[in-house]
């Protein structure tokens, strides 16, 4: 496999917004056109929305339209596209037949060699009744996934999720503790739920975990009669929207992220804002040049912020460059760390989750006791 090297701090992300219909071949052709446009705009990584290949509510029509992963022509076409464009292509999700009666809502991360490096099956099924009368039972046709997935990009670790997962913050906490710097949240939010919660949830997941959020969306009125919200978003760890498709039509949005630098920039910004501007003015009044006043007055005052920001950026970069792999090992697309294990165990076996959590707690206590002499004085 070819090693694809990139500047680890500069990462250009593109999100594809779609209006998928009932014909998988047509939807895949539209996705290929938009992904190619994203590549022309300099993207390193492209994310498509949930249900890229088909939006269908009729059960018989859905199962007639989809195929197993091994024979899915749309997946094969998108792998070929990634290989030809030398691009990371993240298919937000495809409806994949896993048995005659069940499908998976499955996300695929494809590297620039066209290899699938990670798969994720949506864990939380969208089984809801909305106030406007709409009703959805995703679990009637789809089987839920049973594991969280994080995968490594050249720019950092990516936590995978799909749409309704966004409402379950424990999943993202586990992915963040496993070293994720980015969350992918391909979605097909209804118009009602999108207007109420889309921006709120995307920004909340970013802020509470200090991670970037990439949320590609379906938008508009679909052939099956469902209306989705659109408004694909790229959100930074500070909760700021870096790019948004402020509509529900198909299109591409692009933003460039700086992975570790925001921690330094934000710390420095706060440090300089806290300095009394009168100090520098007094120095210049006494004859000091602007440069002298900055280097001898303002910069020393901001030094604690500079050091703190540098430490935060270094710690974040350490996680992005493989600390989890070093200490936990790595199987492509299946890296399992203790936080992810605890989260998944809570879904299946609460007693096992408590046991794993106690192991973490006991380990922390042992470390504290072993190092107590470093900060305790007699």
Active site residue 211: no
Chain segment 261-280, per-residue pLDDT in tens:
556 666 676 777 788 888 88
- Give 190: exposed, middle or buried? Use CB within 10 Å, 0-12, 13-18, 19+: buried
The model's confidence at residue 174, banded by pLDDT at 50, 70 and 90, is very high
The model's confidence at residue 71, banded by pLDDT at 50, 70 and 90, is very high
> Strand 45-47 vs strand 10-17: parallel, antiparallel, or unpaired?
parallel
Active site residue 122: yes
- How is residue 180 written in tokens? 């994720």
Task: Give phi and psi for 205, each to the nearest 5.
Answer: -60, -35
Task: Please pick, among 163, 177, 244, 320, the residue that the annotation labels catalytic.
Answer: 163
Active site residue 163: yes
Chain segment 281-304, per-residue pLDDT in tens:
888 888 888 888 888 888 888 888
Mean pLDDT, range 357-374, rounded to an integer: 67
Q: How many CB atoms lie within 10 A of CB 378?
A: 3
Q: Which domains does the chain have, with CATH numbers?
A: 11-259 (3.60.110.10), 262-320 (no CATH), 337-374 (no CATH)
143-162 per-residue burial string, b: 16 or more CB within 10 A, e: under 16: bebeebbbbbbbbbbbbbbb
According to DSSP, the residues that pair with 13 across neighbouring strands are: 45, 255
> CB of 164 within 8 A of CB of 188?
no
Answer whether residue 329 shows pLDDT above 60: no
> Which of 222, 239, 223, 231 lies closest to 198, judged by CA?
231
> Strand 156-160 vs strand 180-184: parallel, antiparallel, or unpaired?
parallel
Task: Give phi and psi for 85, each to the nearest 5.
Answer: -90, -10
Chain segment 219-228, per-residue pLDDT in tens:
999 999 899 9
Distance, CA of 170 to CA of 183 (rounded, Å): 13
Chain segment 184-242, per-residue pLDDT in tens:
999 999 999 999 999 999 999 999 998 999 999 999 999 998 999 999 999 998 899 99
Distance, CA of 299 to CA of 207 (rounded, Å): 29
- How is residue 241 written in tokens? 């929207």
Taken in order 362, 368, 371, 376, is the CA torsion positive or negative?
negative
Task: Give phi and psi for 376, each to the nearest 5.
Answer: -100, 135
The model's confidence at residue 6, banded by pLDDT at 50, 70 and 90, is very low
Least confident of 10-19, 130-139, 299-308: 299-308
Question: What torsion, rounded to 10 degrees, do the Cα atoms 62, 63, 69, 75 define?
Answer: -30
Taken in order 16, 108, 224, 21, is the CA torsion positive or negative?
positive
The model's confidence at residue 336, banded by pLDDT at 50, 70 and 90, is low
Task: Please pick, among 39, 122, 244, 320, the residue that the annotation labels catalytic.
Answer: 122
> CB of 262 within 8 A of CB of 297?
no
């Amino acid at each position: 496999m070819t090693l694809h090297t990139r500047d680890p701090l500069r990462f250009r992300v593109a999100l594809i917004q779609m209006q998928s219909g009932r014909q998988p071949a047509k939807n895949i052709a539209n996705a290929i056109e938009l992904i190619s446009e994203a590549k022309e705009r300099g993207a390193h990584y492209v994310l498509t929305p949930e249900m890229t290949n088909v939006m269908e509510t009729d059960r018989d029509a859905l199962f007639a339209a989809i195929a197993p992963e091994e024979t899915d022509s749309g997946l094969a076409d998108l792998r070929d596209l990634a290989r030809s464009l030398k691009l990371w292509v993240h298919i937000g999700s495809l409806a994949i037949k896993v048995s005659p009666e069940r499908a998976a809502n499955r996300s695929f991360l494809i590297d620039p060699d066209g290899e699938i490096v990670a798969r994720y099956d949506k864990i939380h099924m969208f089984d809801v009744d909305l106030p406007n009368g709409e009703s959805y039972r995703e679990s009637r046709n789809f089987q839920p996934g049973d594991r969280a997935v994080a995968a490594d990009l050249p720019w950092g670790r990516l936590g995978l999720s799909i749409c309704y997962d966004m409402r379950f913050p424990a999943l993202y906490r586990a992915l963040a503790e496993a070293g994720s710097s980015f969350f992918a949240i391909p979605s097909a939010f209804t118009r009602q739920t999108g207007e109420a919660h889309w921006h709120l949830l995307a920004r909340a997941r970013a802020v509470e975990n200090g991670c970037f959020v990439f949320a590609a969306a379906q938008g508009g009125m679909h052939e099956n009669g469902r209306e989705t919200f659109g408004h694909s978003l790229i959100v930074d760890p500070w909760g700021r929207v870096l790019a948004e498709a402020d509509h529900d039509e198909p299109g591409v949005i692009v933003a460039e992220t700086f992975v570790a630098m925001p921690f330094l920039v934000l710390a420095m910004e706060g440090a300089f804002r806290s300095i009394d501007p009168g100090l520098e003015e007094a120095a210049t009044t006494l004859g000091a040049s602007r440069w002298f006043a900055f280097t001898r007055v303002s910069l020393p005052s901001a030094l604690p912020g500079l050091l703190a920001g540098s430490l935060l950026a270094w710690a974040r970069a350490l996680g992005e460059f493989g600390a989890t792999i070093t200490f936990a090992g790595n199987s492509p697309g299946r890296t399992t760390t203790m936080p992810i294990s605890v989260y998944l165990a809570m879904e299946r076996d609460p007693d096992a989750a408590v046991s794993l959590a106690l192991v973490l707690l006991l380990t922390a206590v042992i470390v504290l006791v072993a190092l107590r002499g470093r900060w305790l004085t007699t």
